[in-house]
Each structure stands twice: as C-alpha cells, then as structure tokens.
Chain A
Amino acid sequence: MKTDIKVFFLWRHLNKLRWLIMSLVFFMLVFLPFVHVYQTYVASFSYDLLTQSEKQLFDIMEAVTSPFVTDPASQLDAIKGNTWSGNFFGYKISDPLAVAGQMAASISVYWPFFLSGLIPIILTIIFGRFFCGWICPANFLYELNTALSLWLQKMGIRAGKRHFDRRLKYLVLALGLGVSAMTGSVLVSMIYPPAIVGREIYFSIALGGFGAGLVFFVLTLLFDLLVSRRGFCRYVCPGGALYSLLGHFRLFRIKRIVENCNDCAKCNAVCEFGLDPLRDDFGQECNNCAACIAICPTDALTFNLSIKDKENQGPGHLGKKYQQQNSQLPEDKNATT
C-alpha cells in the first residue's frame, strides 16, 4: 500500500523537539525569577539571615550557577525577562504585539523598541505563526489543558465542542489596540496569555503572590475546557491574530502528499487550531507545530517551501473513496508495484 514518495524522516520527530523547546521556555520562565531572588540574596549579603528554605534555594542556585559566573549579582543579569520582552546578553527581543500595542498606546514609534521586535517579525514572516506552537508558554499550559479534557472525557465529563468564527480574533486585536490608543496605556498586554503567564510566574515566585492577571488566565483555561476546545487561541487571542496576519505569506508550509494519504482524518483530530489538513486547508492560522506530521500513519504530510497552500487535492489516493472512483487503478498499481 505504500507509494514511492518518501518524506524526510526527521519531520516526524519535530513534534518531540517542539515539546522540548516549549518545556525549556517554560522552565526558563520559572527559573529566571529564582535566579533573581538568588541575586538579591547575594547582593544583600544576607545568607545568615535567611530561613531554612531560603538557604536551600541559595545553595541550589549557587551550585547551579557557580560553574558559569563568578559574580552572580551582576553577571546573572545577562538573561532577563520573558517571552513578552527579554534581554539576552545585551540584545533585547520583544513580542510583535508588544511593539504594536506600544505604538498604538503612545501613537508614536520608539525605534530602539521597534528594532527589538524586528527579529520575531522577520521569523514570523518566514515561518508563520510558529511562536504559538513552539515558544508560547501559555500554549504549553493550554495543550496540557487539552490533555486534561481528554482525561475528563474518559471519565465521562463532556468537554466543550462549540465553534465560533475564527475571524473574531482580528476584531479582538483591533479592539485591543484601539482601547490601548484611547486610554494611552498598553492594555493589550492584559488580554494576551503569554505575557500574563510570564508576569504571573514572576510575581508568584519573586513578589510573593499572583496578580490580577491570573484570574483572566484561569478563565481562559475554563473557557477552553468547558466551552470550546483551544477556544482562546483559535478565536480570541490578539497575538495569534497579529502572528496570523504577519505569517499570511509564510515560506514554510505543511503540505499534504495526496498520493500517500488514506483519508484517516487523524490530522484533523489532532490539530490544536482546528484546521483541516485533510482537505489541504491550512491557511494563515497554521503554526507549523508538526503534530499532524507526527501522527500521520502513512507519511502523507511534509514541509514545503511555498508562499501559497495547494488547492484541495481531493481524496487521498490510498483511501477508499479515491479507489472506488478510479476502480481499475488499484489493481494496476498493485500489479506494477
């Protein structure tokens, strides 16, 4: 039943790499606040004043960081921040939505900040909405949330399956930027989960408590669980909307090889963003997460360099529908191969 068309074998394993990267980013978001707390202990020479648990934290952080730095109080400043905006060895990298929101709020362009958002913008133009699937710390929690909903379904609790219009998030983006411009305050960062997650993790570890953003984030988790699977990312997220718009003509796309496809529709079931790989409908919403490639049993999905998706190529050639339509072909094929 296999055809000659081979798929580069590593694409199947990209999904694992993606989970590794997402976990690493999330780990860093938890690790950096602890680094900061450790730095403040060092800067204040307060080891003898610390409580037992704080001393443990100090010792662990000292053991982890001492191979790399000699002066923790200043040298550990090299990596700071979160996915919303961060410093890496003196280079500042910011989320495109942060740039857009700041420009809207002050109705002017602050060029150093715009330049800090340039690398993500260029990467998004090439790779599309990759941030959502590969880096976003909120996506990490949302995908775990999806797994939780599957467990709940096994126990008999029905998860939400409602669908809304995907274009809703462009409205949210426009509204968010509009309200930011009207109030002169970057309020779009209050409804953007990765920014909230980065902030709230820092607040909870270094400042001793979650802030108001946690309420919003928990509400989105419940919305995903009870109303609509991955509903926030699909229908509401303003950052996802901006990334989708930037990645409209992205160069890296997933393509279906119609000769290998057997119409099993596992790709549609696994797609976090509710797209339709089975009918070649990826569009600007696809985040190249490669989950569909990983689950495809017949290697019918691969990466492709193109700025447009293929038109619907019809039913897969290994599927029943195609073979009934071209009933003489399967025998020929079996005879030849």
Chain B
Amino acid sequence: MKRRHFLKELIAGAVATTALKSSVVEAAFVQQTSIRYLRPPGSLAEKDFESRCIRCGQCGEVCPNRCIDYFNLENGAASLNTPYIIPREKGCILCMKCGQVCPTGAIKPLERTAEDIIGHVRMGKARVEKSLCLSYQGKTCGVCYRACPLQDVAIKVQLLEQPVVLDACVGCGLCERSCIQMPQAIRIIPNHNG
C-alpha cells in the first residue's frame, strides 16, 4: 500500500513538473497575435509550421514579388526567423514558388493551377469594412475586384461595384494591398490553422 502511495505521488509530481515546465515554456514563447500577418501560401497550421520550418530563408529568396519577410523576436521566440507576409505592404501573387523550394514541406509544394490554389491555399479571408468602402458609400470603385487573381471565384461585385467576398477567397492580400482607402476598407483576416 505504501509503495503504491509513493508511486502515485511520484507520478503526480512528474505530471505537475511537466505541466509547470510547459506553462513556463508557453509563457516564454507565446505569440504576440496583435501582428496581423499571413504565412506564405500553402503553409501548414501554425504549430506544425513552426516545427517544420528550419529557417533556411529559401522561400523569401525565390519570391519574385519580395513579399516574404522574416520575423525577429517581435512575434515570440518560437517564430524567430520564420517567413511572414504583411498584406497591406505587399500581397502574395500566388506564384507558388516558395512551396516548391521549401525543403521540409512547411509550405506545401503546390502547382500554380486554380484547383491547387483554391483547394489548398488558406492564408486567410478578406473582409470588407462597409463603413470605409467607397463603393458602399456611393462612389463607384471596384479596385479590390480588379486586383483579385481569382475574380468572380473569390470576390464578386454587385451594383455600384460593391465587393462581396466569397468562400473561395484564399487570402493572398492583393485586394488589401490595392485598396485606395486609407485605412484600407478590405482586410485579410489571417487563417493560421492550415
């Protein structure tokens, strides 16, 4: 009986220390989610991405658009030197080169076809802020629709070029990049779940 009690205590202690450790680790490496960033197209979910990405920097090195930048410590130590895209600064043109060059599959290797992009790319989803959007304020604009690489699939326009984002939106950020309003009336809500 005594030994069983001892074993119980031992196991409880081990569980407690690992829980404590992991919480300390979590606190040290927690993400500062105030930064609204996208991962490159075809990226895995955030946890998997961090464990896969070896920080070789090749995705940025093939990006012809130079939209991929790299974190320093501003997003927590766990995502140090991982790639990100700020859509307002530069949107992704969906060339899919980063996935083909990625050695670890942190960015899935996809072809530059409509099926692959619509089927597998989930960087985020655009959302229109109607109180800021010119078209919804009565001045015909439609720039986001013209900028979209997946017109009428990811975004459609109504009367007066009022944009409506559809479910197929992959979140490349070209609409947010091109929005002529300041602050922008269309924003990508990032999806970090792959």
CA distance A232 to B89 in the complex (A): 39
Given contacts A199-B81, A211-B70, contact A105 B61 (CB under 8 A): no
Q: Establish whether residues A202 and B48, one from each chain, have CB atoms under 8 Å apart when the complex forms.
A: no
CA distance A32 to B69 in the complex (A): 17
Q: Which 4 A-B pairs have the closest CB atoms?
A: A106-B51, A85-B56, A43-B64, A185-B78
Q: Establish whether residues A185 and B54, one from each chain, have CB atoms under 8 Å apart when the complex forms.
A: no
CA distance A186 to B57 in the complex (A): 13
- Name the A residues within 8 Å of B22 (CB-CB): 182
Is B168 at the interface (CB under 8 A from chain A)?
no
Residues of A within 8 A of B (CB): 32-33, 36, 39-40, 43-44, 73, 77, 80-82, 84-87, 92, 94, 98, 101-102, 105-107, 110, 112-113, 116, 182-187, 189-190, 195, 198-199, 202-203, 206-207, 211-213
Q: Establish whether residues A113 and B105, one from each chain, have CB atoms under 8 Å apart when the complex forms.
A: yes
Tell me, rounded to whole Å, the shortest Cβ–Cβ distance linking A107 to chain B: 8
- Name the A residues within 8 Å of B70 (CB-CB): 199, 203, 207, 211
Q: Establish whether residues A102 and B104, one from each chain, have CB atoms under 8 Å apart when the complex forms.
A: yes
Q: Establish whether residues A82 and B56, one from each chain, have CB atoms under 8 Å apart when the complex forms.
A: yes
- Name the B residues within 8 Å of A190 (CB-CB): 55, 80-81
Which of B51, B54, B77, B78 sits near A98, CB closer than 8 Å?
Answer: B54
Is B53 at the interface (CB under 8 A from chain A)?
yes
Is B110 at the interface (CB under 8 A from chain A)?
no
Interface residue count on the B side (C-beta < 8 Å): 36
Given contacts A43-B64, A198-B57, A199-B55, contact A92 B103 (CB under 8 A): yes
Is B73 at the interface (CB under 8 A from chain A)?
yes
Max chain B CB contacts within 10 Å: which of A84, A94, A184, A185? A185
Give 20 new A-B contacts, CB below 8 A, not counting A77-B97, A81-B57, A98-B56: A40-B66, A43-B64, A77-B101, A80-B62, A80-B101, A82-B56, A84-B56, A92-B103, A102-B52, A106-B51, A113-B105, A183-B78, A184-B50, A186-B54, A186-B55, A187-B80, A189-B54, A199-B55, A199-B57, A202-B57
Query: What's the A-B contact tally at a CB cutoff of 8 Å?
Result: 129
Which of B52, B55, B63, B81 sits near A110, CB closer than 8 Å?
Answer: B52
Q: Establish whether residues A81 and B73, one from each chain, have CB atoms under 8 Å apart when the complex forms.
A: no
Which of B55, B60, B80, B103 sits near A116, CB closer than 8 Å?
Answer: B103
- Name the B residues within 8 Å of A189 (CB-CB): 54-55, 81
CA distance A206 to B68 in the complex (A): 11
Chain A residue with the shortest CB-CB distance to B21: A182
Tell me, rounded to whole Å, the shortest Cβ–Cβ distance linking A309 to chain B: 34
Is B79 at the interface (CB under 8 A from chain A)?
yes
Residues of B within 8 A of A (CB): 21-22, 25, 29, 47-48, 50-58, 60-66, 69-70, 72-73, 77-81, 97, 101, 103-105
Q: Establish whether residues A110 and B64, one from each chain, have CB atoms under 8 Å apart when the complex forms.
A: no
Q: Establish whether residues A207 and B61, one from each chain, have CB atoms under 8 Å apart when the complex forms.
A: no
- Name the B residues within 8 Å of A211 (CB-CB): 70, 72, 81
- Name the A residues within 8 Å of B69 (CB-CB): 207
- Name the B residues within 8 Å of A183 (CB-CB): 25, 29, 77-78
CA distance A106 to B46 in the complex (A): 12
Chain B residue with the shortest CB-CB distance to A33: B61
Q: Establish whether residues B48 and A106, one from each chain, have CB atoms under 8 Å apart when the complex forms.
A: yes
Tell me, rounded to whole Å, the shortest Cβ–Cβ distance linking A102 to chain B: 5
Q: Establish whether residues A81 and B61, one from each chain, have CB atoms under 8 Å apart when the complex forms.
A: yes
- Name the B residues within 8 Å of A203 (CB-CB): 57, 70
Which of B47, B101, B104 sits near A113, CB closer than 8 Å?
Answer: B104
Which of B72, B73, B101 sits near A87, CB closer than 8 Å?
Answer: B101
Q: Establish whether residues A73 and B64, one from each chain, have CB atoms under 8 Å apart when the complex forms.
A: yes
- Name the A residues within 8 Å of B51 (CB-CB): 102, 105-107, 184-186
Q: List 21 A-B contacts (CB under 8 A).
A: A36-B61, A40-B63, A44-B64, A77-B62, A77-B97, A94-B54, A98-B56, A102-B52, A102-B54, A105-B50, A107-B51, A110-B105, A113-B103, A183-B25, A184-B47, A190-B55, A190-B81, A198-B57, A202-B57, A207-B69, A211-B81
Q: Establish whether residues B66 and A206, one from each chain, have CB atoms under 8 Å apart when the complex forms.
A: yes
Tell me, rounded to whole Å, the shortest Cβ–Cβ distance linking B69 to chain A: 6
CA distance A43 to B90 in the complex (A): 15
CA distance A102 to B53 in the complex (A): 8
Q: Establish whether residues A81 and B77, one from each chain, have CB atoms under 8 Å apart when the complex forms.
A: no
- Name the B residues within 8 Å of A85 (CB-CB): 54, 56, 58, 103
- Name the B residues within 8 Å of A198 (CB-CB): 56-57
Tell me, rounded to whole Å, the shortest Cβ–Cβ distance linking A120 to chain B: 13
Which of B52, B61, B65, B77 sits near A187, CB closer than 8 Å?
Answer: B77
